[in-house]
Amino acid sequence: MSEQDKEAEKGGFVENHLMKTRQVLICESIDQKMAKRTIAQLLALAAESSDDITLFLNSQGGHVEAGDSIHDIIKFIEPKVRIIGTGWVASAGTHIFLAAEKENRLCLPNTRFLIHQPSGGVGGKVTDIAIQAEQIEIMRKRLARIIAEASGQPLKRVMQDIDRDHWMDTKEALEYGILGRVINSYQDL
C-alpha cells in the first residue's frame, strides 16, 4: 500500500469517527468544495437524528457565498450546532461562527477573530467593474447586519469596524458579543 493510500485510509477512519460522534471539522480555507463537504456532513447528521452537532472551526476565511451556504444550513437544520473556534476564526469563518446561537459559540483560549468587509478581484470592462463594486457594497451591508444582529452591536459601529481588518482576541470577542464563552477542555462543554 502506498503512503498516499495509507493517508487516505487514515483520513477515512478519522472522518468516520467524527461523524459517529456527531462532530464536523472545518480547518481550511472556505471554498465551494469544502462547503459541499461540510453541508453534506451537516445534512447527513441532521437526517440521522436531532441530537446536537459540534463543529470545530479554524479558518482564515475565503469565499463569502460558500460561507453563506454553511451559515444558512447551520440555521436550517433541526439539530443544535455548537461551534468551537480554535486557532483563528476569520472573515467568512466568522460568518460561519455567527450562525450558532450565542450560547453555542465557544472557543479555545488562543483563538483570534477577524471581521472585515468583503473584498474581491474586480476586473473587466468599466461597466462590469461598477456592477461588481455595487455587489460588494450590498454584500458588505448584509454581512454587517448579520454581525450586528448576532453580536448585539449597533449597525453603525459594525460598519465602522469592518472598514478595515478588525482583529479580536478572546476577551475582545466576548466583549464585542461575537463569542459566547471561552473553554479550556472538553469538560467545560
Which three cell numbers mark 52? 446536537
Residues forming beta bridges with residue 167, ordered by sequence position: 114
Which residue among the candidates 71, 95, 116, 166 is catalytic per the annotation?
116
Give the residue carrying C-alpha cell 469596524. Answer: 161
Residue 58 in contact with residue 86, Cβ under 8 Å?
A: yes
The answer to whether the beta carbons of residues 56 and 84 sit under 8 Å apart is yes
Catalytic member of 59, 69, 91, 151: 91
Is residue 86 within 8 A of residue 115, CB to CB? The reply is no
Element (H, E) at 139: helix 126-151
Clarify whether 95 is annotated catalytic: no
119 part of the active site: no
Catalytic amino acids?
91, 116
